[in-house]
Structure 1
Amino acid sequence: MIYSPVIKEYASYTLFPNGFNLFIYDNKNTNKYIYLSADWVKSINKIFYHIKGDIKIMNPKGFFLKTEEIFWDRKDKRIFNKKYTKITFHSDKKDKIILYATNGIEATEDLKEIRLKNISGTLPVK
């Protein structure tokens, strides 16, 4: 489900110049969803997305991703960038993990698999 104040349709792409809020619901459980918000989005044939500006992605497992630019390939179900990206994870034990990827990420669109490039972070130690 997409919420956007302005949607501009063209022959080969769709533009969301004022951004959007996107909810991708789990087919088996509508209480579980992935949330994505951004300031600007260009969709090419609803398969490839170029997303920019104050991007936030959250999944039902507790991962929260924040960055300024990302590319989303819906055919391959992957997201990637070469920008500074911050990922925060809150576990069931209330531990908070914060990771910083200074050279970008590659991940599945549901954030179940994440590859960080040039990372640093804060991990709980017991």
Structure 2
Amino acid sequence: MVGFSCQEELKDPDKEIKYNGPIIENKDVFTLFSDSAKLMIRMKAPVQQEFEGGDGVFPKGFDVEFFQREGAVTSTMSANYGKQDKGRELYFAQGNVVVRNLQKGEMLETEELTWDRRRRKIFTDKFVKITTPNRVVTGQGLRSDQNFENYTIQKITGVFDLEE
């Protein structure tokens, strides 16, 4: 008597290769954040990828507009790439990061910046360049409110007056 049995080999789930990629990919993302029914932030991105824990990636960058309570745009932020830590409401911007204060006519340029949406702050420890209507200031590290109205450069490395 000959017997055959087909038995599938059981595999250890801890040794299996797990998928770590995005579970959702959204195109032409348009997100609005409000406070007491007033528009405070408008965020646009060509692509947003969401991962299992809720965190996100903006592989083609993002653009953000910050509003006053009256509805006027006060400042903007853009970057070539971004990551979102949803639980802590942190956004990490990388690559050609530009923040503009439209009311003061000032612009911040850096390669990396963190935006803490919960605390309404932006900060970096990287090289920064701030251009005002009459001066360029360079330095290492910056702390600011998200509207780029009140900021501190950690270590100033250069101040250049612009001639008119």
Normalising by structure 2, we get a TM-score of 0.66
Following superposition, the deviation at residue 44 of structure 1 comes to: 1.2
Q: In structure 1, what is the Cα distance between the partners aligned to 2:162 and 2:59?
A: 40
| Residue identity (%) | 25
Which of 1 and 2 has greater Rg?
2
Matched, 1:107 2:140: no
Q: In structure 2, what is the Cα distance between the partners aligned to 1:44 and 1:88?
A: 30
Report which stretch shifted further, 40-49 or 52-61.
Answer: 40-49
What residue in structure 1 maps to residue 129 of structure 2? Answer: 86
Q: In structure 2, what is the Cα distance between the partners aligned to 1:100 and 1:12?
A: 36
| Amino acid paired to 2:149 | K
| Amino acid paired to 1:41 | G
Following superposition, the deviation at residue 117 of structure 1 comes to: 2.0
Q: CA RMSD in A?
A: 1.8
SS at match of 2:125: coil
Tell me, yes or no, if the aligned pair for 2:66 and 2:147 is still in contact at 8 Å: no
Q: In structure 2, what is the Cα distance between the partners aligned to 1:73 and 1:5?
A: 22
| Amino acid paired to 1:107 | S
What residue in structure 2 maps to residue 14 of structure 1? Answer: 56
| Amino acid paired to 2:61 | G
Superposed, 1:1-126 pairs within 5 Å as: 1-10=42-51, 11-30=53-72, 32-45=73-86, 47-60=89-102, 61-90=104-133, 96-101=134-139, 103-119=140-156, 120-123=158-161
Following superposition, the deviation at residue 124 of structure 1 comes to: 6.0
Deviations 1:12-66 (A, max 9, x none): 3111011011112222142x33111101111111711111000011012211000
Q: Which has the higher strand share?
A: 2
Deviations 1:53-110 (A, max 9, x none): 00011012211000000111112211111111000111xxxxx111001x21111111
Q: Compared with structure 1, are the counterparts of its residues 70 and 28 closer, same or farther at alpha carbon in structure 2 (3 Å cutoff)?
A: same
Q: In structure 1, what is the Cα distance between the partners aligned to 2:138 and 2:45?
A: 29
Structure 1 residue runs of 4+, over 4 Å off?
none
Normalising by structure 1, we get a TM-score of 0.84
| Amino acid paired to 1:57 | V
